[in-house]
Structure 1
């Protein structure tokens, strides 16, 4: 596990540079999870990225399986990107660690198109309490591991308002993403309103 996390840490530094902050969270009965913060300038606007480190140390197990395979299974880390300075987004560190721990705690397999719900705002005053899991391979390339281990995928998290989460449950992830695209929704705006859903 430690060897895998060292490789993940190195991949993140290669892709995003040096983190300017990191926080560790440990939940009873789980491994230690870290959340790293990276700053980036994108089109003249500062973007802050929060990335988990620790979730990929163990493979995610099929919740219907009688016994979890200690080697085989998908591995992932979570990436949240938001525009800096518009909200107190540094308070997202613990909620992100909670989401990263969900495979160990709840037997959840986190995969693109799925959603994760905290039940509370992602940070104080946030209009989002859930996220849509995006496709990997964009910002940080998948990290190949020696077989039979599956690659570590870096999954972007797209914050959803309660209305968007309800829409996604009924209509599916693809329709919500198409709606965001059609309306030019800035998914990195930590204060954005729900996209028009009528």
Structure 2
């Protein structure tokens, strides 16, 4: 584990306690991505956090040469209500999303949509996620300059209808609609928010 990932691992454990499970996935031509699971029995939630995405900075594919030090770094967080669905099957889709900067050369940032092309877990009504603003669950992890801090980006599952609506109206409009309808974004079985009113 490189020095950045050691610090990220420590930050996650400081924020959530010890993980009760961790799994690793390696894709051809990429570094290993781990997914850690943290159970909060009091809040009846399960949190999944990636570990490995921040090992290298994300690079805009339009850049001719990737800078090994400069560029945004991030890890992904997903929180769902425990015991309502087989959400542990989200480990591989989460690892796929975390590997996308290495595989596809994308820069993952708040407001972006990430699509897995399949349900996030068996029976899930979601195949994509909205990347939310960092800082609420885990504070940014500063690194020595010139390296940028590691940001911990929450993921909000979207139904296909919500993802299509977001493409037309934007991330902020979808967040406002969720808020207006008091949508429980941690419910792994929720229906799409009403989109026609």
| TM-score, with structure 1 as normaliser | 0.98
Tell me the matched-pair count: 196
Tell me which residue corresponds to 2:160: 162
SS of aligned partner of 2:148: coil
Distance in 2 (CA, whole Å) between partners of 1:149 and 1:66 is 19
CA distance in 2, matches of 1:61, 1:69: 8
Match of 2:74 in 1: 76
1:1-198 alignment, distance < 5 Å:
2-41=2-41, 45-198=43-196
- Cα offset for 1:41? 3.7
**Cα root mean square deviation, aligned:** 0.8
Provide the C-alpha distance between the structure 2 equivalents of 1:14 and 1:117, rounded to a whole number of angstroms.
Answer: 30
Distance 2:69 2:102 in 1: 14
Report the secondary structure of 2:99's partner residue: helix
Alpha-carbon deviation of 1:130? 0.2
Offset from partner CA, 1:109-167 (integer Å, 9 cap, x none)? 00000010011000011000000000000100000000000000000000000000001
Between the aligned partners of 1:137 and 1:193, the Cα distance in structure 2 is 27
Deviation at 1:19, TM superposition (A): 0.1
SS at match of 1:101: helix
Q: Distance in 1 between matches of 2:54 and 2:33?
A: 10
Alpha-carbon distance between aligned partners in 2 of 1:98 and 1:148, rounded to the nearest angstrom: 28
In 1, Cα distance between equivalents of 2:114 and 2:126: 11
Deviations along 1:53-99, whole A, 9 cap, x unmatched? Answer: 00000000011111111110000000000000000000000000000
- 3-state DSSP of counterpart to 1:82: strand
Q: d(CA) in 2 for partners of 1:118 and 1:6?
A: 27
